[in-house]
Amino acid sequence: MASSLGRVGDGRDVSDRFWGEAHGRVNLIGEHTDYNEGFVLPIPIPQSCLVELTRRDGRTVSVSSDMDGREHLAAFEIGAEVKEGGWSDYIQGVTFALAKEGFSLSGFEARVRSSVPIGAGLSSSAALEVALLLALDRTFDLALDPVRIAQLAQRAETDFVGAPVGIMDQISASLGRLGEALFLDTRTLEHRPVRLPDELELVVIDSGIPHAHATGEYRTRRMECDRSAELLGVRKLRDVTESDRRRISALPPPLDRRASHVVTENQRVLEAVAALESADLSRFGALLDASHRSLSEDFDVSTPVMDRLVDLSRACTGVLGARMTGGGFGGSIVVATKRGTAADVAREILSAGSKMGGGAMPTIVVPADLG
């Protein structure tokens, strides 16, 4: 489960210690659509973040974390959160967001352990925020529902960390369930699980080139989309469809290509859900390929290394389709394969990818038992 309900049923282990767990995600399709109020289809990965928490008197928060095999320590005061540019910003962002929404907390001690790769575009930060919110919810009886948890986690990123992200990652961490994709309409937040056909397997490879949301390019894309919507006279690009093609093409470059990506990507998500639900694997694979092309050529968020990793994947036996996943400029690729071939495909991509150069140091994330 992406946000499981506790080792002994209620997220409480011994005496006064509570915990929360949330998984990273890989987005199957629907990239850069969430902040345009469009559709997304993420699925949790097996790797997760676990936060154990004990309430303390006073306002001091102390956190120890083991997120990359090393121990890190941080401390701050509730109500005096200050951005530091590191992992503790996500913790401080959460207490900051809770205070903004009227929740009052005392201090606490937290221990964080995460197996979600960092900087791989697999939502390690959303997993941390949501796991912490689950633990805080249980410790302080905040009565938060899963959607509210996702919204608070998103607020931690946008208002405190300063990354203008959409809500996909936090919703996936809060509501996703292992083994099921989550079809989400980011405008209404309506969502439903989508089962993967038995004949389908997934491979996720981290390129080793870290991506970063707070960098200018993500923000620029967001602004370009908002400007395109404004010029087209709609609230968000979600409100534009293929029938507006002539008006999209008339936008000044690069807005024409940016809008074109979002409009076609939204359509691809709907088609991908239908393809999965009718077990049409070749159609699903073709949609992943088309999504990558659009992200690379129209939205300009891929890199030569990601393009080559995707090309390498497509050349492997058993591969149905492949694309970069997440915000882009590095991070991971997701590959759809026929059942029984994922392990071989993963090893083949890794072996070819490690000779590729260009800063790539690929590692296998899924299947997790190979990683």
Question: Which positions are catalytic?
Answer: 169
Q: Residue 323 belongs to what H/E stretch?
A: strand 319-325
Of the pair 138, 292, the CB lying nearest ligand GLA is at 292
Using the contact rule CB under 6 A, the part of the chain among 82-90, 140-148, 161-169, 302-310 near ligand GLA is 161-169
Query: What is the smallest separation between the CB atom of 41 and ligand GLA, expressed in angstroms?
Result: 11
Q: Determine if 165 is a binding residue for ligand GLA (CB under 6 A).
A: yes
Among 24, 117, 166, 371, binds ligand GLA (CB under 6 A): 166
Cα distances from 183 to residues 131, 166, 191, 246, 272, in angstroms, run: 21, 15, 5, 29, 10
Q: Determine if 168 is a binding residue for ligand GLA (CB under 6 A).
A: yes
What is the C-alpha separation between 174 and 186, in angstroms, rounded? 14
Buried b (16+ CB within 10 A) or exposed e, 310-336: bebbbebebbbbbbbbbbbbbbbbbbb
Q: Let me know: does 185 contact 238? Beta carbons within 8 Å.
A: no
Among 35, 76, 90, 140, binds ligand GLA (CB under 6 A): 35
What is the C-alpha separation between 147 and 324, in angstroms, rounded? 27
Q: Determine if 327 is a binding residue for ligand GLA (CB under 6 A).
A: yes
Query: What's the angle, vertex CA 102, arms to CA 98 and CA 135, rounded to 5?
Result: 35
Quote the tokens at residue 127. Answer: 């997993």
Q: Determine if 32 is a binding residue for ligand GLA (CB under 6 A).
A: yes
Cα distances from 109 to residues 102, 116, 205, 255, 302, in angstroms, run: 21, 22, 34, 47, 40
Among 21, 34, 37, 348, binds ligand GLA (CB under 6 A): 34
Q: Which parts of 194-253 interact with ligand GLA (CB under 6 A)?
A: 213
Using the contact rule CB under 6 A, the part of the chain among 28-36, 61-69, 288-296, 316-324 near ligand GLA is 28-36
Please list, in sequence order, all residues whose beta carbon lies within 8 angstroms of the beta carbon of residue 15, skipping any fewer than 6 positions away. none
Using the contact rule CB under 6 A, the part of the chain among 32-40, 176-184, 276-284, 347-355 near ligand GLA is 32-40
Of the pair 265, 348, the CB lying nearest ligand GLA is at 265
What is the C-alpha separation between 88 and 180, in angstroms, rounded? 30
Please list, in sequence order, all residues whose beta carbon lies within 8 angstroms of the beta carbon of residue 327, skipping any fewer than 6 positions away. 32, 121, 211, 213, 218, 301
Q: Determine if 298 is a binding residue for ligand GLA (CB under 6 A).
A: no
Of the pair 138, 211, the CB lying nearest ligand GLA is at 211
Using the contact rule CB under 6 A, the part of the chain among 43-51, 52-60, 162-170, 345-353 near ligand GLA is 162-170
Query: What's the angle, vertex CA 25, arms to CA 22 and CA 31, rounded to 5?
Result: 140
What is the C-alpha separation between 364 and 203, in angstroms, rounded? 8
Among 21, 37, 169, 348, binds ligand GLA (CB under 6 A): 169
Of the pair 225, 360, the CB lying nearest ligand GLA is at 225
Q: Let me know: does 281 contact 338? Beta carbons within 8 Å.
A: yes
Of the pair 107, 166, the CB lying nearest ligand GLA is at 166
Q: Determine if 292 is a binding residue for ligand GLA (CB under 6 A).
A: no
Q: Could you tell me how many residues of this chain bind ligand GLA (CB under 6 A)?
A: 11
Provide the binding-site residues for ligand GLA, judged by CB under 6 A: 31-32, 34-35, 165-166, 168-169, 213, 326-327
